[in-house]
Amino acid sequence: MMAKSLSGANDNEETRRGLAGKSMEKSAKFMYSARLLLNGGLPDQAVDRLYYSLFFVAKAALFLRGKDPVTHNGVKAELIKLLKSELSGIMSEHEINSLVGFYGDRERLRNEMTYSLTGESECLNAADVEETMAEAMLWIESVAGTLCGLVNGEYAEMVGSAAGEGSS
C-alpha cells in the first residue's frame, strides 16, 4: 500500500515519485470533471474543480521535493517559494509572478464561487470559465513541465485518460 503523505519513515524517492504521480492523476481527473461540469451548465462548480486541478499539480511539484504541506495556504506558500527559487534564471520575474498570480486568482475565485451566497456565481458565465480553463491548461503545462518533468501534451493526455476512465 502506498503512503498517503510524507513522514519520516516513508520519505524516500520512491514514495515522493509515487505521491507526485498520484497527484498528477488526481489533477487530471479534476480537470476532466471541470469540463463535464462546465458542459453541464454549472460554471461555478467547474471553477471549484479547476482550482483543484491546479492544487494537485502544485502538490506534485512539492512532493517531488520532499514537501507535504497539509493546508491550502501551506501549499500556496510553498509553491510560491518553489517557483521563485527554481524558476529564476529560467523565466523572467514577470513570468514567475504571473504563475503565482494565476494560482492565487483561481483560489480566490474558487472561494468566492464556493462560499459566497450573495450572487457572484450568477455573474460567472461559461465563456469566462472556458477561457480560464484554457489558461489553466497552459499554467499546468508550464508548471508541470518545468517542475515535474512532464513533456508538452502529456497532461492533456492524462486528462483524456481520465475521460476514458469516466466512461468505463
pTM: 0.89
Task: For the chain, give the mean pLDDT.
Answer: 88
Range of the domain at 79: 15-167
6 part of a folded domain: no
81 part of a folded domain: yes
1 part of a folded domain: no
The enclosing domain of 136 has a CATH number of 1.20.120.330
3-state SS, residue 91: strand
Please give the C-alpha separations between residue 122 and each of 36, 43, 49, 73, in angstroms, as whole numbers: 19, 9, 17, 27
| Tally of structural domains, the chain | 1
Q: Which residue has the cell 488526481?
A: 26
Backbone CA torsion sign across 28, 29, 31, 36 = positive
104 part of a folded domain: yes
157 part of a folded domain: yes
Which three cell numbers mark 120? 457572484
7 part of a folded domain: no
Please give the C-alpha separations between residue 86 and each of 48, 53, 101, 147, in angstroms, as whole numbers: 28, 21, 17, 8
User: Per-residue pLDDT tens for 87-134?
Assistant: 999 999 999 999 999 999 999 989 888 887 765 556 678 899 999 999
4 part of a folded domain: no
